[in-house]
Amino acid sequence: MEGISATVAHVERILAFIFGIVVFFVAAIALKNDWKSKGLENQVFKMMLALLALGAFLAILASVNVLAGKGVEI
């Protein structure tokens, strides 16, 4: 069973990498388009987009084993 769980973990890392890139670019483009907007609600929205982009970037780093932690060796 160890071989199957390792395969599933590798597929999970590949999907995290792909979807991390997609989410990062969507959040970055939305942040760029909304950058000049004024108002408190828009400022909160920009902060949420920035945090989403940061989280996606961290997911990309974790998927390629840059961040330290437990996981399956590539």
Question: Is 1 buried (19+), middle (13-18) or exposed (0-12) by CB count in 10 A?
Answer: exposed
Distance between CA atoms of 39 and 19, rounded to whole angstroms?
31
DSSP 5: H
Please tell me the predicted confidence (pLDDT) of residue 1.
44
Could you tell me the residue ranges of all domains in the chain? 2-63
Which candidate, 30, 4, 12, places its Cα nearest to that of 71? 12
| DSSP letters spanning 23-38 | HHHHHHHHHHHTTT--
pLDDT digits (tens, 9 = 90+) for 6-31: 788 889 889 999 999 999 999 999 99
Please tell me the predicted confidence (pLDDT) of residue 56.
95
pLDDT digits (tens, 9 = 90+) for 44-57: 999 999 999 999 99
